[in-house]
Each structure stands twice: as C-alpha cells, then as structure tokens.
Amino acid sequence: MKVEGIKKYDSRIVTDILKIKSGKFFSKYELSSKINDIYFTGFFDKVRYDINDSTLIVIVKEKDRKELNIGFNYNSDTRGELYLNLSFKGVGFSGSKTDISAVLGKNELFKVENMLYYGIINKTALYSSLKYSNIEDYPLYYENKKIDEYQVDIANAELLALRSFGKNAVLSFGLKGEILNAKSQMAISTVQSDMISSTPNFVSYYAGFTYDSLDRIHFSKKGTFLKSEYTLSNPDMGNTNFEFNKNSLKKWVQQVCWLKKQTERLDSMTIQFEKLVYNR
C-alpha cells in the first residue's frame, strides 16, 4: 500500500484507518467505507484510491488550514455589525485548529477557540475557548414595560475533553467559567435586579453528549440529531449555585410522513364510503 499527497500530516492517519496488510482479502464495499472514514477525519479535501497490480494506492488532497471569513449584518437594533473569522492550523498536533472570531458594532464579541487533537486519528481532543462580550444596552422588562437598561460585560472560559465514538457520537466533559458585570444606564431604576447587580461569577462542571447522523445540516432527509447537556455549579466554587439540563432531538420523520399520507388516504376512502352509503 502507498499513500500519495501527504505533506503536512502523518501518513499513519490513512494507514491506521485502513488497517490493510499484505495478503489480506477485502471487498470493494469495505474499501469504499474506509475511504469515507479517511475523508471524515476532516484533514482532506479529496480522497480516492487506485489499484495497480497488487498495490493499493491512496491519493489524498490535504485541506488548507488557513481561512478568512468576512460578513456584514444590518438591522434596526444594532444598525450594523461586521463579522470576522480567521481559522488556521493550531498549536500542537498537525490536526489541531484555532479559530479567532470577532463581531464589531454596537455590541462587540471576541472569541478565541483551539481544538487540540490527541493521537493520529482524532478520536480524543482537548477544547479550550475564551470569549468576551459587550452589550451596550440590555433591556429589563416588567409587565411589558422597560424598567431599566444595562451595559453588560461578560467573559467566558471553557476547558473540555472530548471523545468521539464511531462517526456520529461525541462525549464531552470539563469546566466552564463566567464573569458578568452589569451597570444600570438609567439614573433612577424602577426595579433593581438582585441577580444582575450582584455580579455573579461562577465556575461550573459540564457534561454533554451529541449524536448526529443527519445527512446534512440544513433540510436533512434522513438521520437523527440528539444533544444532551448537563451543567452543575458547586457553591464552593462561586457565589451562584444552579443545576441545568438541556436536551434537544431532531429526527427526519419519514414514517410519520408515510402515516400522514395513509391517514389522508383513509379519510378520502371514508368520504367516498359515506357518499356511497348516502347515494344508496
């Protein structure tokens, strides 16, 4: 077996997935499935293979790890925001990735993320992020009336360990921290919010599980998306104590669509039957 096109990465990314030894028999279906697994690592733009006599040749085209995205949004609230995102090869193993994002405008956001992969095949990773948000006028309503307006500064930090299982499942756990500072913009506030004025700073434990087998992000036609998150703040770690659980499920319901069609068909048959009885 030969691997062609590898320059920046380790060729073991390919060989460890294929696990094909000299003299071993394999079907075309098995080989195609393993080629898809190589592409799934996210390190390559293209993966193909050729067989020359008794030699399997895998040809790959590596991804360019540098990418700049620029966007602009206008609405009546913010009046205009500029979006910037820079992605490049991160610190550590060649498969690592660093993202720097910024939103510039009335409300500002700055975020730095780094994904550090462990091992040749990225089954385990360490994710870290730092984020700062500034909201110029955050409104507080009471009985549909705005009673106060705050300038809010929020700093977030995350450190998570992730482990993938197969192609679709990821388990993550770690720590999250937040520092919040809010100042009232009104000279006289009708109601003082204890939660906001107390400046809640906390560190919390986090665990999450994601299963994603959807065939595409938007307008998927098959598959299931399941995400479950659990957050727990220890009172010894800060002045805020809370427990939070969030679950989301999205499934393309082909069977429900089929059942709906059958129900409509039965309704049509019922109408025809009633008409027949009435005519008799």
Summarised one tens digit per residue, pLDDT across range 132-154 is: 999 887 877 887 887 888 888 89
Domain ranges of the chain: 2-62, 67-254
pLDDT of 268 = 59
pLDDT of 236 higher than 80: no
- Asked whether the predicted pLDDT for residue 33 surpasses 80, the reply is yes
The 10s digit of each residue's pLDDT in 245-265 is: 888 877 665 545 555 555 666
More confident: 217 or 56: 56
CATH T-level fold of 67-254: Porin (2.40.160)
Torsion of CA 115, 118, 119, 123, to 10 degrees: -70
Instruction: State whether CATH 3.10.20.310 applies to domain 2-62.
Output: yes
- 86 — pLDDT class (breaks 50, 70, 90): very high
Average pLDDT, rounded, for the chain: 79
Instruction: Tell me if 2-62 shares its fold with 67-254.
Output: no
pLDDT at 131 over 80: yes
Nearest to 60 by CA among 39, 74, 32, 77: 39
Q: pTM (2 decimals)?
A: 0.66
E-state strands within the chain: 2-4, 44-52, 55-62, 67-73, 81-89, 97-105, 108-118, 124-142, 145-165, 169-184, 201-212, 224-233, 243-251
Q: What is the pLDDT of residues 158-199, one digit of tens each?
A: 999 999 887 789 999 999 988 888 887 775 555 555 444 445
